[in-house]
Chains A and B, each alone.
Chain A
Amino acid sequence: MQKQLAKMKQSLFDQGYLDEQFIQLEELQDDANPNFVEEVVTLYYRDSVRLVQNIEQALEKNPLDFAKLDSYMHQFKGSSSSFGAKKVKTECTQFRDHCRAGNADGCKRTFQELKKEYATLKKKLEVYFQFARQAGPVEKACRPK
């Protein structure tokens, strides 16, 4: 089961969903905090709901307040990169580039992509953590190739 778990993780890395930061967090897990990464990810998805709503509302305004949007996205990027959400982070960066260029359509388009990546990652990690709980604790965090 550990092998399957490692394969799942490898796949998430190969497809670019996660980066090294995820491994750094897994390495912090110990007997006292065996599900630290799952806890972090749960916290992320809980805390970011309000932020997503704020951004959606802000994108409905006319004209757009690019400074406000940039500030929201700065927060979003910070949280997303803190646990290694690579694709989400990339979309955040793209969005901020559009904000700086004053490109409203670009912001709206990128935000749709961001939401897709955000939702996809959530589903994939839910499966991963479910599997991880069944597989039990590993002695060391396994680094993907």
Chain B
Amino acid sequence: MAGEMAGNSTKKKISALVVDDDRLVRRIHGMLLTRFGMETNAVENGKEAVDLFASGKCYDLVFMDMEMPIMDGLKATQALREMGVSSTIVGVTSRTQEGETQAFMEAGLDACWEKPLTRDGIISLLDQVAKKLL
């Protein structure tokens, strides 16, 4: 079954990290992901996300806001990929200008979505992530 660790009967939950400077967005996206059965954590900016991964924490899914203070989503995504992080990183942005989205994608995103996250979007993503975990 998708998500089960080999040789272990314990089912592993998909882990998700919400990276957004807006407290409201962290609350909403966190709740949405938790309701989908994911282990969820949230941080306020790109640097906190990078520090988490550098400390040895790992998340299957990262929802990365584009504009954040201290370290924005683009730089954080670049940094994570340079560290060798292979998690699924989805850019989540209110900016819909093509140029900005493209630059964000080129930083190493797997997908870029417009805010807010929706149930349908997450459902389509879970299938992808579950296959990665097998």
A residues sitting closer than 8 Å to B (CB atoms) are 21, 24-25, 27-28, 30, 33, 36, 39-40, 43-44, 47, 71, 74-75, 77-79, 81-83
Q: Is B94 an interface residue (CB 8 A)?
A: yes
Q: Which of A21, A33, A74, A79 contacts B31 (CB 8 A)?
A: A33
Say yes or no: A81-B115 contact (C-beta < 8 A), given A43-B23, A74-B67.
yes
Say yes or no: A77-B24 contact (C-beta < 8 A), given A24-B119, A33-B31.
no
Q: Which of B25, B35, B67 contacts A79 (CB 8 A)?
A: B25
Docked pose: A100 CA to B32 CA in angstroms: 33
Instruction: Beyond the given A40-B27, A47-B23, please list 9 additional residue pairs across the A-B interface where CB-CB is below 8 A.
Output: A39-B27, A43-B24, A44-B24, A71-B67, A77-B94, A78-B94, A79-B24, A81-B94, A81-B116
Q: Which of B18-72 contact A (CB under 8 A)?
A: 22-25, 27-28, 31-32, 35, 67
The 4 closest A-B pairs by CB, nearest first: A78-B94, A82-B116, A79-B24, A28-B31
Chain B residues within 8 Å of A77, by CB: 94
Residues A75 and B119 in contact, CB atoms below 8 Å apart? no
Residues A78 and B28 in contact, CB atoms below 8 Å apart? no
Q: Is B118 an interface residue (CB 8 A)?
A: yes
Chain A residues within 8 Å of B23, by CB: 43, 47
Chain A min CB distance to B98 (Å)? 15
Chain A residues within 8 Å of B22, by CB: 75, 78-79, 82
Chain A min CB distance to B70 (Å)? 15
Say yes or no: A40-B94 contact (C-beta < 8 A), given A24-B119, A33-B31.
no
Residues A43 and B27 in contact, CB atoms below 8 Å apart? yes
Residues B27 and A78 in contact, CB atoms below 8 Å apart? no
Could you name 30 residue pairs across A and B whose Cβ atoms are closer than 8 Å?
Answer: A21-B116, A24-B32, A24-B116, A24-B118, A27-B119, A28-B31, A33-B31, A39-B27, A40-B24, A40-B28, A43-B23, A44-B24, A47-B23, A47-B24, A71-B67, A74-B67, A74-B94, A77-B94, A78-B25, A78-B94, A79-B22, A79-B24, A79-B25, A81-B94, A81-B115, A82-B22, A82-B24, A82-B25, A82-B115, A83-B28
